Amino acid sequence: MRGFIASSIGVACAAALSLPLALSSGVGAATTPSAARALTAGAISGSTQSLPLSVLPRDRGLRAPGEQGLTQRDVHPFSLVGVVWDDPAAALEGRVQVRTRATGTARWSGWQELETHNGDHAPDPGTAEHDSGRLRGSTAPLWVGASDGVEVRVRPQAAPAHQAAANSAAQAALPKGLRLELVDPGDEPPPGGAPAEGPRTGALTAESAAASAVNADLAPLGADAVPALGKKGTESELIEARGGEADAKVSPYIGPRPRIVTRKGWGADETLRERTFAYTTKVKAAFVHHSATGNNYTCSQAPSLIRGIYRYHVKSLGWRDIGYNFLVDKCGNIYEGRAGGVAKPVKGAHTLGFNTNSMGVAVLGTFGTSKPSAAAVKGLARLAAWKLGLYGVNPSGKTYLTSAGGNLYRKGKSVRLNVISGHRDGYATECPGRLLYNKLGTARSTSASLQGR
């Protein structure tokens, strides 16, 4: 296990290139499921429909002036929905609501709210990912389950008082280029990962092999999960990585490694993301998020939900990969997020201004008025105890991070934060929801206890 924190990217590339050439045949996003299975067992289907919004008729005065959307219509099947716009720096001041129809039925849902992000989840300013020219503003995506009909309305909020005084119908301007994004997350990955006796490379493309190889010190190539490891084994692994030192001054203080479903395990289409990996120097803090995708999912659907978020972040928002480093579902299952290795300091796009030397963990769900499950909070604590322990960090302590710029802290400001912080601690946002935020104290104390502190 020696060097599992600092192993080079070249190892992953070499591993991918050493596979048979036939394995590099990727399958496009629009490929049908049957065609995908015929080409390679490792390919994942999926698609995104992007529909421009337009100003809706007033409808006897029931709609606000300038309200945009789509009237009820049939569409290709999808399970996740969001709204995007051209300028990532533009704020959407208003309400975004959708109704959907369950696939194969005449049953329409009630109106559901989409949370407006308004820049709080994004790559840091000055990075290649931020300055790529591909970024878009967005709402949070909403998981609606298998659907084939949709209706959407975007209602601008009333203009500020000084403007409304001059015009009783004044409304805040909506961002330009509003579009509805309907995401089909694609088929479930084939069951089973690497067999116990060794890796199963026959189901891997070159891209998926590279994403798997960066975890090669923790799991076989092509594994569906990094296996759990007891506390003694985890401590021994860390001591070995540190060069064999085991005296009191170098006490590991690390929690047992939890089981982590890999990108292969949840079915990531590795052809969507940028091929290289982005790293920071270390992991000093964990920012906790809620995905704001709603709570209407089962744990068996979590991989599909994650594939939907991944496709939305990359294809709809223009990011290099999914923004979060890890995700946790309501059953406490932990999932690898952004590619680059679960033990490595992968740079995410989760907390604008504080993506350096931190990791972002999204608990799947919406927790403004709904409580997170005890299993999800425990999963968060287990993950933090292990990952922060790799870098010698106390989950119940404080740390300093330097802001890259945001709406709370100017660029270059050194900010003192809890090691386990909520998204709202680094940016003015409701994320991770009041009821999950209130559980962070429990996560800190549990995580520290798991480390043996």
Q: What does the alpha-carbon distance between residue 29 and residue 157 come to, in Å, rounded to a whole number? A: 37
pLDDT tens readout for residues 123-151: 888 888 888 889 999 999 999 999 999 99
> Do the strands 398-402 and 414-418 form a parallel or antiparallel pair, or are they unpaired?
antiparallel
pLDDT tens readout for residues 391-426: 999 999 999 999 988 778 889 999 999 999 999 999
Burial status of residue 34 (CB atoms within 10 A of its CB: 0-12, 13-18, 19 or more): exposed
pLDDT tens readout for residues 24-64: 223 233 333 333 333 333 445 799 999 999 999 876 556 77
Q: Given a cut of 90, is residue 178 above it in pLDDT?
A: yes
Q: Which residues contact 118 (CB under 8 A, 6 or more apart)?
A: 91, 92, 137
Q: What does the alpha-carbon distance between residue 290 and residue 351 come to, in Å, rounded to a whole number? A: 12
Mean pLDDT computed over 12-30: 34
Band (pLDDT 50/70/90 cuts) for residue 157 is: confident
State if pTM tops 0.85.
yes
pLDDT tens readout for residues 251-305: 789 999 999 999 999 999 999 999 999 999 999 999 999 999 999 999 999 999 9
Q: What does the alpha-carbon distance between residue 400 and residue 389 come to, in Å, rounded to a whole number? A: 17
> Token pair of 32, please?
């049908």
The mean predicted confidence, pLDDT, of the chain is 85
